[in-house]
Amino acid sequence: MIEKDHWPAGLIARPIEPIDVQAWSDLMIAKNRADQDSGLQTVDDLLEELGDPVRDVTRDTVGLWSGDLMVGYCMLRAGSQFVNGLDVHALSSVHPLWRRRGLGTAIVDWMIQRSTEMHEALHTETPGKLNTNALTSSLGAEALLMGFGFKTDDHYLEMECPLDTTPCQTPLPGRARIVPFQPEHDEAVRLLHNEAFRDHRDSLPTSAENWRLWVTGSRAFVGSASSLVFVGDQLIAYALSYDHSTDDESGTKEIHIGQVGTARPYRGRGFATAAVSWAMAEAQRAGFQRASLSVDSESPTGAVGLYERLGFQTKRISAGYQRPIP
């Protein structure tokens, strides 16, 4: 941990503990409301993050406190695959009422120093990269990160579609059939996902361990609103969904379409559209009020147009920032 005098005067900095999750959730709700953002905010979401077996919460998390109010945080995670060097991913935020007081600068400085320590301990023989993200509407965050040497060329569209009317289900082409997710197909979905995303920028194969921990093993995974498309016995497309309902006063029930893919020989024939529309219809029947997803603005498969045709509209744009380690 960086020395005590690194942090703005009057604040307490310490690792995040399970007993802190309600205060942490309150911080994220305030942040999302101010920035018109979505993302991790429920107590269960945050407890799951703290339970990540890869993260050393005593060294890789920090919460900033003013009395009983968490006013800022940062957490780091080292990627488990070192194909092109060590990737460290950072999540952080500052309470809207505590911005422009030096907290953001202190947090970014901490994440750089801590990621350097992680690189030295885990993977010194190859380059390292520190990754974080921010909304493009947050000019202050952009200036802060660029000032610390971060660069960006990745942009992701955060899209939403209301489910107040039953979505129009796209018919399946040919003799294909669609079924809800079934555990016996889990490994086949993982392998298809890795193959489908091989031509996407910065995409690495997902290991079986990470897949079963963070994808189909996530507490938020909704198998009944996740779709699998088959031609005969061959899995050719999928759409996996997650419960992103909020803990704030709106209580919005949101289904998040987290992963969508199609086997290469079947691209451009409407299978992904059918998979997503089926998942949306099932979510609507289950009482979800809104669907959301995030998509690379330069997706090589034309995914942006697909989602727009299904009724999704871009609500926010986030930028991915990278900085070499050390």
Please write the tens of the pLDDT for every residue from 313-322: 999 999 999 9
* Integer Cα distance of 31 and 134 in angstroms: 12
Whether the model pTM is above 0.85 = yes
pLDDT of residue 223: 98
pLDDT of residue 3: 60
pLDDT of residue 201: 65
Q: In what order do the strands lie in the sheet with 128-135?
A: 12-14, 61-66, 69-78, 86-94, 128-135, 313-325, 151-162, 290-296, 254-262, 234-243, 227-231, 177-180
Q: In order along the chain (326 residues), what is the average pLDDT of each group of 10 residues?
A: 74 96 94 83 88 92 97 90 75 96 96 93 81 92 96 93 80 90 98 90 82 94 98 97 82 93 94 95 95 90 90 95 91
pLDDT of residue 19: 97
Question: By C-alpha distance, which of 175, 170, 171 is closest to 231?
Answer: 175
254 is written with which tokens? 């949101």
pLDDT of residue 247: 67
Chain Cα centroid distance, residue 216: 14
**CA geometry: angle 208, 302, 132, nearest 5 deg:** 55
| Half-sphere exposure for 65 (CA within 13 Å, toward CB) | 14
One DSSP character per residue, 263-288 reads -GGGTTSSHHHHHHHHHHHHHHHTT-
pLDDT of residue 171: 81
